[in-house]
Structure 1
Amino acid sequence: MATDDGASTTFDSDEVKEMYCEECEKHGDGYTPAVAFCVDCVEYKCVTCQKYHKRQSKTHKIQDSDSMPQDFYLEKCYNHPQQLIKFYCSECSKEACKKCKDNEHVKCSDVNHLPTVASGIQNSDELKDLQQKLDKMTVYIKDTEKLLNDNSKVVHKQEEQAIEACKEHKDKLIEA
């Protein structure tokens, strides 16, 4: 998981500067910088955790800091609050943490690591279409806001005219 100040959440606008060891975070050892990524476990590891992981899981593919993905996760799993959502099941159209993936999506054949699913999205037709629709919606919202402001001015002016007409009518009634 990555943060830029050691907090456990980031925001879309935050600049991600460093990946942190997920094993250390899980066990309450704080935020230790990650130097490796286990492709099989889909976890970032610090020097110490990587050392022990290599001993226990000799067949796992490990990426070093130069080749490990620079992604980060923001949401914790609803069912497993200690787990981060890292996977997406295309068959179920659901996000999943590691435990959910291992338990609820065992029979699913299309469960992928989120960065893999999201790769190439910057150049996708869907994103371009969404951006065009958002641009149109922005123009529509601005036009609607202007119309509301104009209508508000008209209503305010009508209110002032109604108050003045009431005053004039009252004055005529008092004079009579």
Structure 2
Amino acid sequence: MTTNFSGSLTQDSEEVTEMYCEECDRHGDGYATAVAFCVDCLDYICVTCQRYHKRQFKTHRIKDSYSMPQDFYFEKCSIHPGQLIKFYCSECNKEACQECKDNEHVKCSDVSHLPTLASDIQKSDKLINLRKNMDQLSMNIKDTEKMLDAKSEVIKK
């Protein structure tokens, strides 16, 4: 069995392909499919919320469904159960929801959006090189197994 580490790590995972609107969820309006992502608010939004968001926040940058981050963390905050954890503070080594970020990590300088952070890691040269090295090691192991099998046959004779 050959393992290919240079392919996408998420191709065999249970990747979420449909995001939901956080505004609708936050206000109890139920489930709505997100079609956009506000880079400034770091929220996934549906068609209806996007229309109002563009009117209210004219300078906010909106990504469409093809360019918005796809990785998402669905765990709710233990302190604020209505909030999703979607940030990571490198200084405190803690995950945070929006409220925790705004209140507890306001002085922290390295708080990252988890989906963006995951996307950046997937594209990093270090990860790409690691995958290539793992592919090479996998091939080396396979070659070593073949050599050992051949030597075992010689010993048996």
TM over 0.5: yes
The one-letter amino acid paired with 2:61 is: K
In 1: Cα distance, 2:66 partner to 2:121 partner: 20
The one-letter amino acid paired with 2:83 is: Q
Query: What TM-score, normalized by structure 1, do the two folds share?
Result: 0.60
SS in 1 for 2:103: helix
In 2: Cα distance, 1:61 partner to 1:49 partner: 14
CA deviation after TM superposition for structure 1 residue 72, in Å: 1.4
Which residues in structure 2 correspond to 1:1-176 (within 5 Å)? 13-118=13-118, 119-120=120-121, 124=126
**Higher helix share goes to which structure?**
1
Query: What TM-score, normalized by structure 2, do the two folds share?
Result: 0.67
CA RMSD of aligned residues (A): 2.3
In 2: Cα distance, 1:93 partner to 1:26 partner: 26
In 2: Cα distance, 1:29 partner to 1:60 partner: 23
CA deviation after TM superposition for structure 1 residue 29, in Å: 1.8
CA deviations over 1:38-82 (Å, ceiling 9, x no partner):
011111000110111111111111111111111211211111000
Unaligned residue ranges in structure 2 (runs of 5+) = 1-11, 135-157
The one-letter amino acid paired with 2:22 is: E
CA deviation after TM superposition for structure 1 residue 26, in Å: 1.6
SS in 2 for 1:18: coil
In 1: Cα distance, 2:42 partner to 2:109 partner: 17
Identity across aligned pairs (percent)?
72
The one-letter amino acid paired with 2:16 is: V
On the 8 A contact 2:15/2:71 being kept in 1, the answer is no
Query: Which one has a bigger Cα radius of gyration?
Result: 1
